[in-house]
Chain A
Amino acid sequence: MLTVPIGIQILFAGILFFLGLIGLLVRRNMIFMLMSIEIMFNAAGLVFIIAGTHWRQPDGQVMFIFILAVTAVEVSIALALILQVYHHFKTLDADAINNLKDRN
């Protein structure tokens, strides 16, 4: 049985979440931003699992399965959008796509 104090487990999940947040804020490549969002989703799911194990309830794992479904949908939609953006602008820079209307 794991005897790591729950504070350290939550701290680890928090570190992962903040790494994802930093990646989302720093990187401008949209693939990297999407990856950072994945890291944050994963850290949130980790907190659910930690809490579920702490209270010995299956609810945490159920919530993780829901997070998994949401993540799958989000990734597929976002990647389709990225493909469209790349076809249209020929770049993946998020700063280059800040105009709604065509400039030319």
Chain B
Amino acid sequence: MDVFFYIACVVAIVSTIMAISGRNAIHSLLYLILSLLAVSVIFYLLSAPFVAALEVIIYAGAIMVLFIFVTMMLNIGIEREAEKKWLRPRMWIIPSILAAVLLVNLILAVKSVQALQPHSGAIQPKQVGISLFSTYLLGVEIAAILLMAGVIGAYHLGSQKKKVKHRFLEIK
């Protein structure tokens, strides 16, 4: 079991370093997704399967897609003759190796009998849900208010302000 943890650690650290040191924003975001997936494997190994699923679905699935949308809207990563460069193995060999290592790691971890058993130490999603909606009910309400504020704020900030143009009084 421990070796899976160390492999996922190495994958996470290497892909995080590549993410913060990259020049192309899209490439860095893809490395960051790989790092999040590696952390998700670690969550699974730490007997927190529910949070591992949440990490993949919300972090790597939703938040990173939001990032990629905005980055593509801003046209930052555009490069001429890019496709010629992408076909060189130097560009894709490192992320491919990292992702393959992580995939093999995950398959072996899931296949090993120890990991699959609902051993006594694992915290089941049921416990989390009961705790979330009894002890931390106030926190859930506050999170709901925060999400509502976030929706309104993002809508307000994201809307383009209409320029008021008068025929004679155009302020420059």
A contacts, CB < 8 Å to B: 1-4, 9, 12, 15-16, 19-20, 22-23, 26-27, 29, 31-32, 34-36, 38-39, 42, 46, 49-50, 52-53, 56-62, 64-66, 68-77, 79-84, 86-87, 92
Contact = CB atoms under 8 A, between A and B. Distances in A.
B158 interface: yes
B98 interface: no
A66 B1 contact: no
B67 A75 contact: yes
Nearest to B3: A4
30 contacts: A2-B47, A9-B46, A12-B9, A16-B13, A22-B20, A23-B20, A27-B20, A31-B67, A35-B28, A35-B32, A42-B59, A49-B43, A58-B123, A61-B48, A61-B51, A62-B136, A62-B139, A66-B139, A68-B58, A68-B59, A72-B58, A73-B146, A73-B149, A75-B66, A76-B153, A81-B157, A82-B70, A82-B74, A83-B73, A92-B76
Contacts of A12: 9, 12-13, 42
Interface residues of B, number: 61
Contacts of B59: 42, 68, 71
A50 B123 CA distance: 12
A36 B20 contact: yes
B164 to A, nearest CB: 17
- Of the listed residues A29, A64, A79, the one surrounded by the most CB atoms of chain B closer than 10 A to its CB is A79
B5 A2 contact: yes
A30 B16 CA distance: 17
B2 A39 contact: no
Interface of B: 1-2, 5-6, 9, 12-13, 16-17, 19-20, 25, 28-29, 32, 35-36, 39, 42-43, 45-48, 50-51, 54, 58-59, 62-63, 66-67, 70-71, 73-74, 76, 114, 119, 121, 123, 127-128, 130-132, 135-136, 139, 143, 146-147, 149-151, 153-154, 157-158, 160
